[in-house]
Amino acid sequence: MGELLKRYGGTLTGAFILLTGFWLLMLIILPNLALFETSFRPYLPVVDMGGPLDTYSVNNYAKFFESPGPMSIFGLELSIPLRAQTFINTVFYSIIVTVVAFVFSYPIAFYLAKVVRPKSVPTLILLLFIPLWVSEALRAFAWYIILTLNGPLNAVLVGMGVLEKAVRWQQGVLTNYDAIVIGLVYNYILFMLFPIYNAMTSLDSNQIEAAQDLGAPAWKTHLRIVLPHSKPGIASGSVMVFMLAAGSLLVPTTLGSTRSNWFTQTIQQAMLESQDWNTGAAYSFLYLLLCTVVVFGVMRLFKVRLSDIAR
């Protein structure tokens, strides 16, 4: 606040605060409060809204736990509600997306921060940004074409002898979610890469050189020096990638099969196909709550604080 006052003066600073507050209130707080209130009301015809049947209850939230079905978890056959199964699958594969994004992002971030010449960094970052100039819809459809049975990926892998014959990636080779994971990693990997790169740029290169001079192998240098210093960037990138992947709708709809259902598709089906906004609102808030619990649980597991992410 003090810096804003010094830089822009009282009038402009007040205008910024008022505009930001108005934006938050009208576009985020009030719509979400209205949606939250709607989630506790029953789905009724228009003529019955506001009548004696229009009462508050948790029935919409209870639908999440209806229709139990078999599900195998680590070899155990369990009876779990179908919507809960969809949520579990969504969270699990969102975590897979986050891990894969980290595995690819970490070496690239280290190369940009500590290996490449500083003059070349802006050019390389620009090249990384080029895919984001294309809309997410076009990127998803591009991957749909790449992953089709007669697409270029199968042609290359069969030509190299990696595959004996073409496979249906959308139907799943390893799991039912292969294509979705690939599409989500491609779409959101930069949200992992740049926080890690930003954290690594503040690392003193002399620490790495000292470790090398003392005979430490590369893996130990990264484990003891680079990774701990990059923890805030890793935490920030992981939270962003996980929440973006879990909340994605376009990629699962475009690349998913009939056997892979993302929870956002369940919300869409309730709101748009069934026109049941009340149940869809309940699923939305329950999903937000459960994903938040997962994020804070992982943060506690890896001993990461909100202050680390905010940095």
CB 207 within 8 A of CB 225: yes
pLDDT at 241: 92
Quote the CA–CA distance of 32 and 249 in Å, as a whole number.
19
pLDDT at 15: 84
**Where along the chain do its domains lie?**
80-309
pLDDT at 64: 87
**Domain 80-309 is in which class?**
mainly alpha
For residue 97, what pLDDT band results from cuts at 50, 70 and 90? very high
Query: In 59-135, where does DSSP find H-type helix?
Result: 59-62, 82-110, 121-129
pLDDT at 4: 63
pLDDT at 308: 63
More confident residue, 260 or 188: 188
Quote the CA–CA distance of 25 and 236 in Å, as a whole number.
25
Flag whether pLDDT at 62 surpasses 70: yes
Q: Please, what sign has the CA dihedral across residues 102, 108, 114, 115?
A: positive
The H or E element spanning position 76 is strand 76-81
pLDDT tens for residues 170-196? 776 677 888 899 999 999 999 999 999
Percent of the chain surpassing pLDDT 90: 14
pLDDT at 106: 92
pLDDT at 2: 65
Flag whether pLDDT at 63 surpasses 70: yes
More confident residue, 77 or 241: 241
Flag whether pLDDT at 89 surpasses 80: yes
Flag whether pLDDT at 128 surpasses 70: yes
Flag whether pLDDT at 248 surpasses 80: yes
pLDDT at 105: 93
Flag whether pLDDT at 93 surpasses 70: yes
Quote the CA–CA distance of 202 and 60 in Å, as a whole number.
49
Quote the CA–CA distance of 268 and 277 in Å, as a whole number.
9
Contacts made by residues 96-100, CB under 8 angstroms, sequence distance 24+? 96/177, 96/181, 97/181, 97/184, 97/185, 97/188, 97/241, 97/242, 97/245, 98/192, 98/238, 98/241, 98/242, 98/245, 100/181, 100/185
Give the position of tokens 């600073």. 13
Flag whether pLDDT at 50 surpasses 80: no
Q: HSE on the CB side for 276, CA within 13 Å?
A: 18
Mean per-residue pLDDT, 227-241: 87
Mean per-residue pLDDT, 10-20: 83
Which residues are registered as beta bridge partners of 70? Answer: 79
pLDDT tens for residues 132-168? 888 888 888 888 888 888 888 888 888 888 888 888 7
Quote the CA–CA distance of 170 and 259 in Å, as a whole number.
10
